[in-house]
Amino acid sequence: MARRIPDFSSISHPTPRLFFTSALCIFVCACAARDAEIAGRARSELIGLSDNDLRMCAGHPANEDKVPGGVIWMYEHGAASSGGLTITPVIPVVGAQIGQPDGGYCRTQLKLVGGKVTEVSFAGATDLWGGRDAVCAPIVRNCLDYRKGRR
C-alpha cells in the first residue's frame, strides 16, 4: 500500500500577517514615543517665548483666562479616533483588538507673565499608546521648531 504524503500547499502561512501586525504596532508605538518626547521638551524649551512669537507659531489661543499677575492661553487638540487597531490573530479569537479606543484630547495651557511664557502644562486624555502627553505634540511641535529657528 502506497503511503500518502499530506498536501500542505493550501495552508496559509501566518508569518507575513504576523510580521506586518508586529511592524505596525512597533511603528505606532515609536510615533507615540517621539510625540511624548516633543511634549516633554515643550515644558522647558518654550519657557521665555514671547506672546508675539507664541501667536506666530501656534496661532491665536482657543481660550484665555486672566490670572493674578498674568494670563493663561489655552490651545486644544483632539486626535483622530481610529477605533483601535483590529487584528486577526494566528489563532482566531472572537473580537480580538489591540490599541486604544479613541485618539485622545489635549488642552495645552501656557501661562504668560509680562508677555513671556513662564509655565506649560497639559490637561485631558493626553497619553497615547503609552506615550505620556503624546496627543499634545501637534500643538507645541511648531513652536519648538520656530524657537529653534529664531536662535
The 10s digit of each residue's pLDDT in 91-147 is 444 444 444 445 677 888 999 999 999 999 888 765 565 666 677 888 888 899 888
Q: Which helix (H) or strand (E) holds 139?
A: helix 137-150
Give me the pLDDT at residue 130, please.
Answer: 60
Question: Could you write out the three-class secondary structure of 6-59?
Answer: CCCCCCCCCHHHHHHHHHHHHHHHHHHHHHHHHHHHHHHHCCCCEHHHHHHHHC
Give me the pLDDT at residue 31, please.
Answer: 54
Question: Over 90: is that where the pLDDT of 84 sits?
Answer: no
Domain ranges in the chain are 15-150
Q: Taking the model in full, what pTM does it have? A: 0.63
Give the helix, strand, coil percentages of the chain, each rounded to 5. Answer: 35, 25, 40
Give me the pLDDT at residue 78, please.
Answer: 78
